[in-house]
C-alpha cells in the first residue's frame, strides 16, 4: 500500500492506524531525557550518611515505587559501577519524560544515591534541561 493511497490517508487522519503509522509522533511521545545532577563532595558525604542499606532505605523505596515510579538496577560496564534509574510514572507526572540516574559500588548504594537525589536534592521535582544549548556568540 502506498502513502498516496486514499484509504490509508483516511485511516491515518482518523487515528485508526495507531502511533506506528506516524514515526514522528512516536519519536516525540517516547522521547526521554536523563536528568543531569551529579553530587558534589558535600552532597556525596551527605548521601553516604543519609540512610543505611536496611529498613530505612526500603521504606523510602516503598514510598517512591508505590507512587508509581519504576526502578531499574543493573551493572553498567561503561561507568564500571551499579546503576539505578528512577523512571517517572506517567505522562502527567511532574517528571514525565525524565530518567534520574544513581550510581554506586553495590546495587543498594546506587539505589540510595538515586533516592537521595529524588528526595533530598530535588524534593521530588527533577530539573529539566533545555534541548537547546546556550552559546556565547561573538557577533
Q: Note the pLDDT of residue 37.
A: 84
Please tell me the distance from the alpha carbon of residue 90 to that of residue 50, in angstroms, as a whole number. Answer: 28
Query: Is 135 a member of any domain?
Result: no
Q: From start to end of 42-127, where are the E strands? A: 70-76, 81-87, 98-104
Q: What are phi and psi of 48, to 5 degrees?
A: -65, -35
Residues in the chain with pLDDT values less than 50: 1, 23-28, 132-137, 139
Answer yes or no: is 131 within a domain. no
Which residues lie closer than 8 Å to 30 by C-beta, 6 or more apart? none
Please indicate, yes or no, if residue 101 is contained in any of the structural domains.
yes
Q: What is the predicted pLDDT for the residue at 130?
A: 61
In a domain, 128, yes or no: no
11 within domain boundaries? no
Q: Give the tens place of pLDDT for each residue, 75-113.
A: 999 889 999 999 998 888 899 999 999 999 999 999 999
The answer as to whether 7 is a domain residue is no
Does 1 fall in a domain?
Answer: no
Q: Are 22 and 32 in contact (CB under 8 A)?
A: no
DSSP SS3 for 43: helix
Question: Considering its fold, how many domains does the chain have in total?
Answer: 1
Range of the domain at 58: 32-121
pTM over 0.75: no
103 part of a folded domain: yes
Specify the CATH number for the domain of residue 91: 3.30.160
pLDDT on residue 126: 94
Alpha carbon separation from 130 to 31, 93, 103 (Å, rounded):
13, 18, 24
Amino acid at each position: 500500500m502506498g502513502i498516496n493511497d486514499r484509504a490509508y490517508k483516511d485511516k491515518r487522519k482518523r487515528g485508526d492506524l495507531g502511533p506506528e503509522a506516524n514515526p514522528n509522533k512516536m519519536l516525540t511521545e517516547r522521547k526521554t531525557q536523563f536528568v543531569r545532577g551529579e553530587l558534589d563532595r558535600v552532597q556525596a558525604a551527605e548521601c553516604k550518611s543519609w540512610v543505611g542499606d536496611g529498613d530505612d532505605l526500603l521504606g523510602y523505596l516503598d514510598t517512591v515505587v508505590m507512587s508509581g515510579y519504576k526502578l531499574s538496577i543493573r551493572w553498567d560496564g561503561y561507568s564500571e559501577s551499579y546503576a539505578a534509574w528512577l523512571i517517572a510514572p506517567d505522562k502527567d507526572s511532574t517528571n514525565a519524560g525524565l530518567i534520574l540516574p544513581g550510581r554506586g559500588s553495590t546495587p543498594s548504594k546506587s539505589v540510595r544515591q538515586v533516592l537521595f537525589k529524588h528526595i533530598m536534592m530535588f524534593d521530588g521535582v527533577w530539573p529539566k534541561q533545555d534541548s537547546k544549548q546556550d552559546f556565547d556568540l561573538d557577533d
